[in-house]
Chains A and B, each alone.
Chain A
Amino acid sequence: MPFACIYVPNFPVAAALRAEPELQARAVAILEGTPPLEKIIAVNEDARRMGIAPAMTKAQAELCSDLALRPRSPLQESAAHAALLDCAQSFSPCVEDTACDRALLDLAGMESLFGSLSEISRAIHHRATTLGLDANVAIASNPDAAVLAARGLCDAGTPFDQLRAGSARVAVTVIPPGQEAEQLGTLPVAVLFPDRLEGEEQKEATRLLETLNRWGIRNLRALAALPEVALSERLGQEGLRLQKLARGAASRTLVPIEAPLLFEEAVELEHPIVLLEPLAFLLNRLLEQLCARLATRALATQELRLTLDLANLTGIDDEFENIGMPSESDGVEGKENMCGQPPSAVRRSEAPLLHCRQTKFARTLRLPQPMLDAKIFLKLLQLDLNANPPGAPIVKIHLAAEPARPRSAQGGLFLPPTPEPEKLELTLARIAAMVGEQKVGALELLYTHHPEGFRMQRFVAAVPPEKPHPKTTASTEESIVTALRRFRPPLRAHVTLENGQPAHLVCKKKDVQGEVLWKAGPWRFSGDWWERQAWSRDEWDIALQNNALQNGETIALYRLVHDLLGGSWFVEGTYD
């Protein structure tokens, strides 16, 4: 039964590089600790070549001007770990969350789906790369051998097949059954112990390593060749366990996990962002990572939640006027005050201006249909943030996606054209930014006699075909309905009455005034008398000389309304 191990070497650095891909070509070191006692915990290969090593202090590392120092970010590491699990679960339902930097998956029966084991290992590596992780993939007949092989790919140089495709490093290996001891033999003994141990475990591991070193045991082959009884007498059961691992003969049961479908990405900023344009770059990166993870799980999203931690700079708010302070009517969803919660220690040390309080600014982007397009999401978020700016410098960005099944639609050759949901959503957002959010959408009539009894709702281009209405099936001349064009707001008019009927009309609109040539009415309407917004009115249909075109020969029909409660006259619209 084959098992695969996906191992991300140097995990803190890999998480930082995933969040900031532009650091790939630079020397990077990760810091941890409380200022001023920060120490380096992980470095990449370039930094190692420059002489930077773990346990150096920040002051020592800062002597290298080309070195990029980044604080350790639990948010980035948890996002990278989630991406690692997503990658594993896209190949097998049986996945063990072994550690933060590795995942084990059972590949039994997967050959029929993904091809040979070698093809599977390359596919896993490719998908991990797509998710921003440079991972080692090893396949062996037992889980521990797979873990050792995956770790050994970076610890022991090139003991296995390393395929190179272009400039990208492809580090995969497949150990055939029965050759575990031979393949693992060249690995150093240190791979038997985890990277970071603390307390007693670290002491014990150091003691064992020193003992083996004194014996002249440098690699697993030498350890595997030791006699079992003698090893047991000297190192006890732990020695036998290590020897079994070295022979690739350890056997255990995989402990599968049921990972929750949480798709969240976050980034903490060293320096606050005060403009929306640099924010868009970061959002783009987060969205691409989220979309890649969703695509890995064959999911889409219908809701994006953006949460921004804002640094409220008291006294210098005017400097940030360009991003605007949201007013009460801006409709900011979930803006909560986090008084008394200071920013993180790292940020506090680098940005002493930030103090007092930190607020959260949240926006929720709800989509009518599940979508998976990072560019569309970015445009929608940009438009939304342009309309509703956060109003203060941003120190942390958190983006979460609610997973949903991708929409499945069967197009037809003879069906009428339909707008693409992604394009339509972007178009609607752009138009809404131009004319107002409540000014674009579909109509919904309300159950009322009020003349303006309707409301705007979201326009969705996925309406199921309706049954033809008996009244509208035949497009005969009888179904042509005289339309009313409304004046919004209604035109206030000064009406002269004769015998209680309108005879002359004066209105602020030049072409809607003059002698009433013909009139019909009144028709009385009233409603909502049980509420404060009660209305009661008389409606007249009148004809006036049309002065718009200065031809003096045409007449126009208008609806004249007498508000019985207020006593005013209005021209509500024209029949056209």
Chain B
Amino acid sequence: MSSAVVSTSAAQGRPFFFDDEPEAESSCGDSRPRLSGRAQLDRRSPENHPKSWIPSKILPSTVTSASRLEIRPAPEMVPSGIPAIDAMTGGLPRGCLTEICGPASSGRTTFLLAALAAATRRGEFCTVVDASDALDPHSAASAGVALDRLLWVRCGDNSPQRHRVTEKHGNQKEGCPISRASLAREVGAGERGLSSQAAFDFDRTSLRQSERRLEQVLRATDLLLESGGFGLIVLDLADLPPQAARRIPLTTWFRFRRAIEHTPTILLAIEPQPIAGSCSSLLLQLGSENEPAAKRRKNAAHGASRGLGMEDDAAPEGRKKMNAAGDPNFAEPTHVHLLTGMDINAELIRSRLDRKPAHSVRFGSKTAWAG
């Protein structure tokens, strides 16, 4: 492990040395001039340097040796709220970027709420920068999130500046949320069966909106990181199209990582695909794409094949079971089922602490009404 080598050298604090240094002979028993790090590499290619090259005059003061580079200490790990994940990864690293990716219904938001609940239980203040305004407050409350410790930033297209532009110039200007004509076209397309042109227009509009939302997300995240003091900052990019998410420059992620590096803040991003590259210290893939569809279908919703009678006790208050005809006294509503939870498969793709992460774990979640 490279980090271990660096750690050992730095602990010894050895400088660059040559043949006249007694330490070299005593430690290695070899009288040949020796170099370490970059100097050793340069020595192997003497054609690049004139004979009068004296590395001892250059190296000690101007170039920091690799053995003296600062070692990044291992981050403090805190529980993620899901014991199975904690057993696999050790928890969520503080001062690092963690990516949670996966397709829809793979359990990303479940993981997010569990992490928020765990953080607020620790007394920390948390933030969700919601790119698609998708957070469900009731789900968050059911998951145990202390809502008064949660700052929710709902990004969208109805910012004050945009309202002013719309009021001033009507809906003709490019950049309006959705013009009436396009809205009517979309609604009409939805009712007719969504023609291909309408779908194409909708995709373009959606992409533009996503880019605007993404810009808000990044600016808000910058401000929150600069403000500091939050235990967990979540970037919810789960519903962004991959084309828009991939436009985030790598330098942005690098800036985020540098901003939280020596702070106790956890930066958590949930997204459809990994986009932060090596800037993330932990990358978890939820849901298995290689899993057979039939098996996924079975695991996606346990309780799907159960009948009404089996799940009668689990029904929430106020949820009144109905049959198709709407008669509550229907005798055998065999078609009625209850979603009680999901099986979630998590795979560790990248970890700063583990060089070859190849673990996966499976855990289950229950719906709020399943008891």
- A interface, CB within 8 angstroms of B: 324, 327, 387, 415-420, 423-424, 426-428, 430-431, 433-437, 439-445, 449, 451, 453-454, 456, 459-461, 463, 465-466, 468-469, 471-473, 475-488, 492-494, 499-501, 506-511, 513, 517-525, 538, 541, 543, 546, 548-549, 551-557, 573-576
Looking at the complex, which one of B84, B104, B147, B149 makes contact with A576 (CB distance below 8 Å)? B104
Among listed B46-54, B63-71, B337-345, interface-contacting one: B337-345
Known contacts A435-B155, A511-B104; decide if A506 and B139 are in contact (CB<8 Å): no
A477 near B364 with CB under 8 A, answer yes
CB distance from A495 to the nearest CB of B (A): 11
Residue of A nearest to B363 (CB): A477
CB distance from B332 to the nearest CB of A (A): 14
B352 within 8 Å of A by Cβ? no
Cα-based distance from A199 to B147 in the complex (angstroms): 70
Binary A-proximity of B73-88 (CB < 8 A = 1, otherwise 0): 0000001011110000
Number of interface residues of B (CB under 8 A): 114
**22 cross-chain CB contacts under 8 A:** A416-B123, A424-B229, A427-B224, A427-B226, A437-B160, A444-B148, A472-B121, A480-B114, A481-B365, A482-B368, A484-B138, A487-B134, A494-B191, A517-B297, A521-B337, A523-B319, A541-B301, A546-B104, A553-B296, A554-B103, A574-B105, A576-B109
Known contacts A416-B125, A554-B106; 7 additional CB pairs below 8 A are A426-B227, A439-B133, A483-B139, A492-B190, A522-B324, A524-B320, A576-B107
Cα-based distance from A441 to B220 in the complex (angstroms): 13
Residue of A nearest to B143 (CB): A481
User: Which one of A442, A469, A523 has the greatest number of beta carbons of chain B within 10 Å?
Assistant: A523
Binary A-proximity of B187-224 (CB < 8 A = 1, otherwise 0): 10111011000110011001000000000100110011
User: Chain A contacts of B146 at CB under 8 A?
Assistant: 463, 466
CB distance from B230 to the nearest CB of A (A): 6
A440 near B152 with CB under 8 A, answer yes
User: Chain A contacts of B156 at CB under 8 A?
Assistant: 435-436, 439
Looking at the complex, which one of A460, A481, A519 makes contact with B366 (CB distance below 8 Å)? A481
CB distance from A559 to the nearest CB of B (A): 9
User: Chain B contacts of A524 at CB under 8 A?
Assistant: 319-320, 322
Looking at the complex, which one of A420, A427, A484, A513 makes contact with B136 (CB distance below 8 Å)? A484
Going nearest first, the 3 A-B pairs with the smallest beta carbon separation are A419-B229, A500-B324, A472-B144
Cα-based distance from A456 to B164 in the complex (angstroms): 23
Looking at the complex, which one of A439, A477, A522 makes contact with B322 (CB distance below 8 Å)? A522
Known contacts A433-B160, A541-B339, A576-B238; decide if A443 and B296 are in contact (CB<8 Å): no
B105 near A546 with CB under 8 A, answer yes
Cα-based distance from A463 to B151 in the complex (angstroms): 12
A481 near B113 with CB under 8 A, answer yes
B122 within 8 Å of A by Cβ? yes
Residue of B nearest to A443 (CB): B147
User: Chain A contacts of B261 at CB under 8 A?
Assistant: none
CB distance from A120 to the nearest CB of B (A): 40
B117 near A472 with CB under 8 A, answer yes
Known contacts A416-B123, A482-B367, A523-B319; decide if A576 and B110 are in contact (CB<8 Å): yes
CB distance from A341 to the nearest CB of B (A): 30
